[in-house]
Amino acid sequence: MDTVLITGTTSGIGEAFAKKFVLEGYNVILVARNQEKLSLQAQKLGANKNVKYITCDLNDENAINIIEQSLKEWNLTVDILINNAGFNECGLFHETSINRELEMVQVHISSLIKLTKVLLKEMLKNNYGHIVNIGSTGSFIASPSDAVYSATKSFILSFTNALAGELQGTGVKATIICPGATNTKFAIKAGIEKTKLFGVAVMSANQVVDSVYCKLLRGKRVIIPGWYNRIMVACSKILPVSVLNKVTLWMMQ
């Protein structure tokens, strides 16, 4: 059975993906920074299952080396990589923490690139594999009061589209999943759970994973879970940026 490595697994969409892949019989490697939570999660998921975990903080420059070394020690090859780890620093750009925003760039972009490059080389040798990146509806829509977050997610969309083009005919696929408002600790930590954005068509993490799972396995390049989110993205391709900015800023209040 294939081996899946998932980052950011101790809550939210990452946790839901871990449960889903274990249920479907995959070997699963959990990656997160809280060792206590990871250990408990592995115990819950791993009864009679093949579940391993790696403790590292993707904001740490050495994180990818830790992951690579663990895989070598276990003599494991990753068939499916899910780059899920992430967080948000929400607010007007001149008021937000530059340190948190730079950490976000490190986790969302730098670590994602490094981990993808390391694991992709082995996938290409085997002519088999799947890179799955978690984007956002913010990948398509620049978000006032969420400027850096939406910019990082826009990068992930562009990167995934380009990578998918490079990988045609190799046996390796690239997919981006772009959820909208999702009821997880992510929103609470970012302080946006009471905004208008989270008052309409909010999905649970399990709903997101269940709605994208089959499309993911088929190798669809861009997956947007939820009818409301698909409408939002479609409108973003029609409406002027000035209008989108006003709507997005209103929704973030």
Q: Please, which residues bridge with residue 172 across strands?
A: 129
Tokens of 212: 């994208």
Q: Which of 2, 225, 8, 1 is nearest to 115 (CA)?
A: 8
- The residue annotated as part of the active site, out of 26, 53, 128, 149, is 149
Q: Which of 248, 246, 151, 149 is nearest to 197 (CA)?
A: 248
Q: How far apart are alpha carbons 100 and 112 in whole angstroms?
A: 17
Active site residue 213: no
Cα Dmax for the chain: 54
Q: How far apart are alpha carbons 29 and 237 in whole angstroms?
A: 37
Phi, psi of 177 (to 5 degrees): -105, 130
Q: How far apart are alpha carbons 28 and 52 in whole angstroms?
A: 6
Contact predicate 65/72, CB 8 Å: no
Residue type, 115: L
Phi, psi of 192 (to 5 degrees): -115, 10
- SS3 call for 6: strand
The catalytic residue positions are 149
